[in-house]
Structure 1
Amino acid sequence: MNRGNIIRNEKGAALLLILFLIVFVAIVGATMINSTFYGKKNNVIALADQQEFYRLEAAIDMMLHQLREFEVVDGILLNNDGVNEPYPALDENGNEVPIIKRGPYYYLAMGQPLTGSYVIDGQSVQVDLTDVIGPNSILEGQNQYTFKLTSQFTSSQKFIRELELSVTEEDKDEMRDVPPPPPGQVGPPQTPKFPGNSGDRIIFIDSKNVHHNQIAWNNITKPTNSTLQSFINYYGLDTTKALTNWNGVPVPDVEKIRYYNEINASGNAVSIAIQEGYLTYANKVNITGCGGGSVTISGVLIANEIKIGGQCTYYLGGGIITGKFELGGNAASVLVDEKGGFKDDGSAGEYTPSPPYMLPPINYDDFNWGLDPNINITNMETIRK
């Protein structure tokens, strides 16, 4: 082979190599362009899918907010004392207390709409509340609903978003238990009111026997239309405790109310005292003589029957309530504390009665139900159509 043929062969091989390189570069370039194109397309698709997901999720959040913000007035709070028929509980202004039911548990219990439509970023999304089961008792005093939220576009889209949830609430009752009324009271309790009058010193119910010359005694002894039992109820007394008899001065103790069957005094240098801040109840009080002694009533004395007399000096700084009051003779004298007597609330001589039948206060959660719902997500799923 001559030199000219060799040179021509080398030029042909070089040309083939260049053509191969050109074709290779073209294929690689086309592949890269295609990859870039499809990558961009996939990114656009992925972004669109992500946006759809967020719209579905936002609609579920709006439905959950609607469930949480649900509120309705349904019924009134009742008191149940176990004796009377349940009766309305009243607030401090004397008004009935409405029951407010709120939150997702009562949304389901009250049969509210199970479909919500929301416009998210210009697109309409529907959320359906399905597979509602309940209420079921899961623990003592606990009830539960289970349900599913399904979020999807009203127009044909790729995804459906589902959440399975449970909501638990304490078992509630419109009736709250309150203490039974005291013996002798019929019907719902009324606002306690002292049966006597402010300023009274000695109150008698049935009869009074005081000599007309005893002006000081007559001036402080007043009748009432109330019954002795109404006073006993007001002061919350348990007259079955009046079993023992008493002569003299009791030793002060923490018990502010003392009970006696009889208080008797007769003889010389008798000294009987009902101390300031104390109440004494007796079935019968019979003081026929003091022998120069004294009887001091600085607290409150309540009795079915009081008969006093003799050469006694009576110091009255508190108040007396009795069914029958009798003052024998003209020898007994009385000294009255100008600041004494009964007040509007029945207090006297530093003794202040506790209201006889106080209902327990109404708690906020007695009539506000569903304040703190226990919501749990038990499963979540995104379904591609």
Structure 2
Amino acid sequence: MSETAAREVSTAENPWPVRTVARKIGDWIHRLGAVWVEGQVTQISARPGTGTAFLTLRDPAADVSMSVTCPMSLLRSLEPPPREGASVLVNARPAYFFGRGTLSLRASEIRMVGIGELLARIERLRRLLAAEGLFATERKRRLPFLPKGIGLITGRASAAERDVLVNAHARWPAARFRVINTAVQGALAVPEILDALSILERDKNVEVIVIARGGGSVEDLLPFSDEALCRAVSAARKPVISAIGHEPDTPLLDHVADVRCSTPTDAGKRVVPDVREESERVRQMRDRGRRALHGWVDTQRRLLDQLRSRPALADPLGPIDRRADEVEVQRQRGRREILSTLTREQTALTAARARLTALGPAATLERGYAVVQFSDAEGNLGVLRSVSEVSEGTEVRIRVGDGAVRAVVTAGSDRAEEG
């Protein structure tokens, strides 16, 4: 490694002096060359008798600013002269001041951004946001009927704040507001409104947010067409009401917000219901409910009267008595039929019993006949039909009309003579 290269390396043993670091930073900055820069003028210092004017240029969408120097003649040549909050285009070269270690822009040309250019930029941004769906109706949320807390972002002690609060309290005296005052024009407006929106988003007692400002020029209302603010309102979890300017004023915030009000006064009327109107509506609904209830009761009473007038309900025991008489008649008829059937069957049974008695063996025995039975070799009792079936000494059973006796055969058999 050469001696020159060794000097270019910074180490703890070989540190660079401050002048070396400052020179190297200046070399890198000066390589950038001339650039066009757009921003908002937040401060102008042009003292009489001096040849240099000092301006502070701020990015409207971020908390970033830079110092700009220019010849006084360049500032005087501008028509109209720039004022704080104006948007400008600056052609400048970065300048690094070696002694103080500060950075600024040395302007060689300053152009005021005209109304036409501002409107064209707003229109381009409007088309971009519309293409992304940020203006879509289906993305918009409904306002709560009666929010328990209302967030209000507006200028300090402004007519817009007074209009919103006075009209809201006139409609609903118990409405609760949390007011956050911010800048509503100029370079600080967008960052402060974004911070206030974030605070109200985190507040659990706030259910709807109102962003309000009075009328003004296109430049005054420019913060409410800022892309960062529009995207923050679109991403908000709570409904947002836009009440910017007068009826003809339509910044992009009006398209992104969930509800667009033509004026702050209109926002005060839209954010809460009218207590008198709601009381009257409650009274009307109470009267309507009372009439409906009375009508229903009258209808049911007429229906009950009709039911009571029917014979079945007018004399509920009459049909039962009549049916009881019919049941008694049928019961008596059934009883007679049963007794007649029993008598007829009993007579038939007696006749059958008499026939059976006359034809049965008992009747024959009653006339003097007997039935002789003996036991065969197997011990079974059989009817004696022939004298040859028994021998002397055989025990027999003789059945007569009123009982049976036992006897023993004592003599040989005597056959009946055929004749």
Q: Does TM, scored on the shorter chain, surpass 0.5?
A: no
The TM-score normalised by the length of structure 2 is 0.17
Higher relative helix content: 2
The TM-score normalised by the length of structure 1 is 0.18
